Structure 1
């Protein structure tokens, strides 16, 4: 009569202590030993599960033969268990990694890991993808992170095709808040330069310094280009650095009578600066 071969159990190197009294198995077959005290104090889900298992006859949770099977992969569980155990957390590499662990933290009702991730997600490496950070913050109603991400989103053209999958993930109200902020900045800037910025320093709106009526089409063309740019990215770049052909034509435009430059670029930019500084940055309150 042949005996059954022994099952080879592979424990994660950080979670193999024989003193721990609860055994888990990942979807990839790796085993994890954790102390029930840690699970009870950090997770509402495991607290309830362990309370139920403690009533009446139940399997031995510390046995390799009857581990608690979890659907998460090793990359997720190792980070998640590290966080609830108070161990050093490896550096996050991608937003995919953060979202996977965040879903596990939400599923198992562990506020500690969720708060850690909330602080980590605004690091510079993740703010390179601010719209996705905004989507994550909207899902969990992290208002401070949402505001931070919204400001970073001003520099990207969110209406382009590549951003549509992420836009679809954002709750409607928070998506409208982001769109409203961008539109308010665009419209406020155009309104400000229409009302507060003179065409040039030391002359009227219609005449050159020589007293002759001049053509202001280059200025109108520049404003239109700025408007279109702000519709895409309402961040307002420094117009001194613009490489647009319309900007070059505007600043080099001369009076047809006296040959003077019609627009004083430096003086105009000094007038524009406070217009930029006064643009709205805050998302409207959540409905």
Structure 2
């Protein structure tokens, strides 16, 4: 990588024509290009059409951002051709997504939407992903996250600050999805599964090996052929699981 390209991607370019400054660190300045920002964001484009009153010592206009320097830096990585910008957690993702939505930076929004629903986030923090998707009106991601919440007891999930930003309607829709899914699955399965399904209405819960093992063990004394029957019934169990998984996930 050439030194010029390196300086551009570090936002310290010698041919920059505007400086962005984060709200938390006036000393950290991002020397960038109006043409690139304008192409990425109609908000920046409109901003640069207005007179720029404040300037640095080298006469470059300065734009004071309300976002932190960390968020500004992350957002610029999505605007400039930085390969695979790293967003390692939901804590990092949310403020960058908020800035991208505010500034209408479509390229950043699309990339962050993909990062929001990576498997690690969905498996470990599905309720939080749902809340973030609801906050920013990301309907496709909201539906994906809603499905993953079925593996959890929503009321036992950690309380997240992201829940402050969603409506009671969106939260109620999720609880209603759990209720409807739980009832549909309990109708399809026996009473042994009902307690589990009442809290976590997902086939991943009741078809996991531990649950199936306990179910088989519970009838050993009643029927010696049951374990063998359960083994030969595995194909039917998979068919049943597929049918249940095809239940609607619409919130």
> TM-score band, normalised by the shorter chain?
0.7 to 0.9
CA distance in 1, matches of 2:247, 2:99: 33
CA distance in 1, matches of 2:144, 2:92: 21
Does the aligned pair in 2 maintain the 1:102–1:117 contact within 8 Å? yes
The verdict on how the C-alpha distance between 1:165 and 1:67 changes in structure 2, with shifts beyond 3 A counting, is: closer
1:53 aligns with 2:51: yes
The verdict on how the C-alpha distance between 1:137 and 1:145 changes in structure 2, with shifts beyond 3 A counting, is: same
SS in 2 for 1:125: helix
Q: What residue in structure 1 maps to residue 120 of structure 2?
A: 125
Q: What residue in structure 1 maps to residue 207 of structure 2?
A: 238
Higher helix proportion (structure 1 or 2): 2
CA distance in 2, matches of 1:166, 1:49: 30
- Which string of whole-angstrom CA distances, capped at 9 and with x for unpartnered residues, describes residues 53-84 of structure 1? 27xxx455784686222232222111111211
5+ residue gaps in structure 2?
Answer: 1-6
Q: Aligned pair count?
A: 238
After TM superposition, the score normalised by the length of structure 2 is 0.79
CA distance in 1, matches of 2:38, 2:140: 30
CA distance in 1, matches of 2:208, 2:33: 61
CA distance in 1, matches of 2:160, 2:55: 49
1:170-249 aligned at under 5 Å gives the runs 170-193=166-189, 223=191, 225-236=192-203, 237-238=206-207, 241-242=210-211, 247=215
Does the aligned pair in 1 maintain the 2:9–2:80 contact within 8 Å? no
CA distance in 1, matches of 2:102, 2:238: 48
5+ residue gaps in structure 1?
Answer: 1-10, 195-222
Q: Superposition RMSD on alpha carbons, in Å?
A: 3.1
SS in 2 for 1:68: strand
How far 1:175 sits from its partner (Å)?
A: 2.4
1:50-129 aligned at under 5 Å gives the runs 50-53=48-51, 58-60=53-55, 63=58, 67-127=62-122, 128-129=124-125
How far 1:185 sits from its partner (Å)?
A: 2.3
Does the aligned pair in 2 maintain the 1:23–1:67 contact within 8 Å? yes
Q: 1:23 aligns with which of 19, 24, 29?
A: 19
How far 1:13 sits from its partner (Å)?
A: 7.5
Q: Whose Rg is larger?
A: 1
The verdict on how the C-alpha distance between 1:274 and 1:63 changes in structure 2, with shifts beyond 3 A counting, is: same
